[in-house]
Structure 1
């Protein structure tokens, strides 16, 4: 048994640590404006919906960490620096690949992530058919949080004011659009915290077609290149090193670091020790925001949450139209599986 476990007094707040950056678990999320693979923080996160409260004395079972009321938080240290690739041929699949990091329940809001700058740029370049994108990523997890839906934390005071404002208005589309702009379209029920490291490669379609006709597996080359660039080259044989070198000469590369980057020696355990100082959200499960307007969450509030929930359902697509009319999204039409982007391939690692 570790000595710090023995010394920890479960009845005292002394020595208690808090999980860094857990604030993200309290925020709303805008599924149209979000982009999980953005440089820096995901622009989809909005303002606090829930209030942090440590007064109840919640803690992890080993007594080392304080936990805010209404949440279960579990350490989950796991880092993988290897890279693998999957092919994406359509906008539908592109949006779906982003949903691996930001998984949202309930539809009706429009095309996920389509109002974000990152989505627009990638979609625009893909649509020309002139380039192939190969994205290689590695992730390092530190902990994850779960919202206790049957015993959720109290709402943030400012969010409560907004609820009362909606309750005082029978129907006002402009007010609901303002509410969505402030708090988003969803709220997180699970969040994984850690770090993410991404290489975004762009290869000309001509080069890609030439390579594939020659029998070259571009996805495998990208994986070798990612491993080599991230400091794991010492584990590669000479053929793999040469493959990584050939690939790097034929692409334009953009590096995206969210949280702590992998160490130069490529060691996963070293990366884990660095990630714990400033973990950020790397994956999250989201529920549609109208689900807050139910007896489960608002049973103690003197508001007509059923009417507000119905109004939110009615206004979902209208909010997308609002963004479209303001030039934030190109279309609110649902993406259809199987519709290809002309001459375009996007490789994505996750």
Structure 2
């Protein structure tokens, strides 16, 4: 469930239903009982299939378009492809607080320690710092966003969080139990042979051949890049508030405003926000509340009004361990890592073949870039500049002269002015952490007052900038420069990485 307030500051909410109401849950009723080893035999009892089999072993496509901070969208968009099948042999298990006997595939493992309450205090960070923390700590990422992966799992959070925004994140959980894909032979016995065969028919990976890139892209779109290996069940109240495009707020001020807005349901230390701070905050902040588990009606009501204490208490009191649990977070790993760790040689070969391609499509970096063209000896009468970066994706524009995104990897800007020595535009660039091939096509013309015979000496520049909140403008900074002449020229160059520092020249062939 989602809603949007009709205000300048956007708010959204979603609620997650408990497992009994899960739309993909398929209960089975069949006369069976448990044998001594925990497997089912025919009898006169009844049982239900645990819904984890609809998720564990299934693939996800974690490309640059996925928002890793939204668990609901990740589960909703999971691929239909199965990387590791559920074993047909099943065991019967109880979970704390439930009288139901749940069928669990024998290659899944149930860990049921019982309800444990955990509160994860408010964290206020710039987007760039939040990315670092979440990428470094799988536990922190799971606690605040419901998603986790090991550091070697080949994924990137840069496109899920705006590095130039301020964020506040908070969660209150009651953990109950987890279901995990068993390791080693219990896993590899059930790897789908079709995915392995599909990998081994792919050409050798290279970023220099567009046909090869297309082939791998189509493979990942069909089979995914990652698979779900673990689910944690319980209940959760989760907040994410960000400053949007507002760049003047400080961490102290932002935290004070979050404290004021959610004071009825969240205990936050710190100073009190002023009226002026709150007025500005409510105009620009964008908030998201996620409520998982508990009574579905109470969860939906709270998700729509997350600052209301009575509604919060009604939802909290509706939670019944084992009966109203929902998926709180998922743990994933890359398909390539799964296969490379296999004792089966064919699996190892397939995993190695897609390793670099997986990183290319998932380990994405993001930066705000300034594209400029200008002259040193006169004012511009007309200027035009185009950037094309085949490996990259341009996703947004923020400031500057009018520009058009012609396709995902190309932007063009034209302007006619006699007031400035340069024209510029700002846009967001997402790219794999690989050498970035850039083509700058630029043309400038000095104004009519330029002395006869004089040629405007111009330049084009691409600046990639990180960590805009830093007071001393520290952080990653890349710059590519090219000289220009009145005739349109194509300049080409390579940035070693979008995170590289220093100046890098571009020249025409």
TM-score (norm 2): 0.48
Q: Aligned to 2:91, what secondary structure does the other structure show?
A: coil
Q: Determine if the alignment matches structure 1 residue 254 to structure 2 residue 287.
A: yes
User: 1:163 — aligned with what?
Assistant: 196
- CA separation of 1:61/1:178 partners in 2, compared to 1, >3 Å: closer, same or farther? same
Aligned equivalent of 1:333, options 433, 451, 465: 433
- In the alignment, the residues of structure 2 paired with residue 108 and residue 66 of structure 1 have an alpha-carbon distance, to the nearest angstrom, of 30
Q: Quick check: 2:234–2:321 contact (8 Å CA) kept in 1?
A: no
User: 2:150 — aligned with what?
Assistant: 105
Q: Quick check: 2:131–2:157 contact (8 Å CA) kept in 1?
A: no
Structure 1, residues 90-111: CA drift from partner, whole Å, max 9, x if none? 52532542652233235484x6
Q: Aligned to 1:319, what secondary structure does the other structure show?
A: helix
Q: Quick check: 1:89–1:344 contact (8 Å CA) kept in 2?
A: no
User: 2:237 — aligned with what?
Assistant: 197
CA drift at 1:72: 0.6
Q: Quick check: 1:142–1:272 contact (8 Å CA) kept in 2?
A: no
Aligned equivalent of 2:338, options 265, 288, 292: 292
CA drift at 1:73: 1.6
- In the alignment, the residues of structure 2 paired with residue 108 and residue 59 of structure 1 have an alpha-carbon distance, to the nearest angstrom, of 32
Mind listing any 5+ residue stretches in structure 2 that lack a counterpart? 1-31, 206-211, 294-298, 303-309, 365-389, 394-406, 410-428, 435-464, 472-509
Higher RCO, 1 vs 2 (CA within 8 Å, ≥6 residues apart): 1
User: 2:83 — aligned with what?
Assistant: 49
Q: C-alpha root-mean-square deviation of aligned residues, in Å?
A: 4.3
Task: Select between 243-252 and 91-100 the one with higher mean Cα deviation.
Answer: 243-252
CA drift at 1:71: 0.7
Aligned equivalent of 1:88, options 122, 125, 140: 125
CA drift at 1:155: 4.1
Going by fraction, where is strand more abundant, 1 or 2?
Answer: 2
Q: Quick check: 1:294–1:306 contact (8 Å CA) kept in 2?
A: yes
Count of residues in Structure 1 that have an aligned counterpart in Structure 2: 300
CA drift at 1:258: 5.2
- CA separation of 1:222/1:45 partners in 2, compared to 1, >3 Å: closer, same or farther? same
Q: Aligned to 1:331, what secondary structure does the other structure show?
A: strand
TM-score (norm 1): 0.65
Q: Aligned to 2:175, what secondary structure does the other structure show?
A: strand
- In the alignment, the residues of structure 2 paired with residue 133 and residue 295 of structure 1 have an alpha-carbon distance, to the nearest angstrom, of 37
Q: Determine if the alignment matches structure 1 residue 312 to structure 2 residue 312.
A: no
Aligned equivalent of 1:222, options 254, 258, 261: 258
- In the alignment, the residues of structure 2 paired with residue 24 and residue 95 of structure 1 have an alpha-carbon distance, to the nearest angstrom, of 28
- In the alignment, the residues of structure 2 paired with residue 296 and residue 160 of structure 1 have an alpha-carbon distance, to the nearest angstrom, of 13
Structure 1, residues 254-280: CA drift from partner, whole Å, max 9, x if none? 233253436825268635328844613
Aligned equivalent of 1:71, options 97, 105, 108: 108
Mind listing any 5+ residue stretches in structure 1 that lack a counterpart? 1-7, 346-350
- CA separation of 1:278/1:36 partners in 2, compared to 1, >3 Å: closer, same or farther? farther
Going by fraction, where is helix more abundant, 1 or 2?
Answer: 1
Structure 1, residues 243-301: CA drift from partner, whole Å, max 9, x if none? 59968654335233253436825268635328844613x3333332123325747x3xx
- In the alignment, the residues of structure 1 paired with residue 46 and residue 272 of structure 2 have an alpha-carbon distance, to the nearest angstrom, of 50
Q: Quick check: which has more Rg, 1 or 2? A: 2
Aligned equivalent of 1:27, options 49, 58, 62: 58
CA drift at 1:330: 1.0
CA drift at 1:112: 0.7
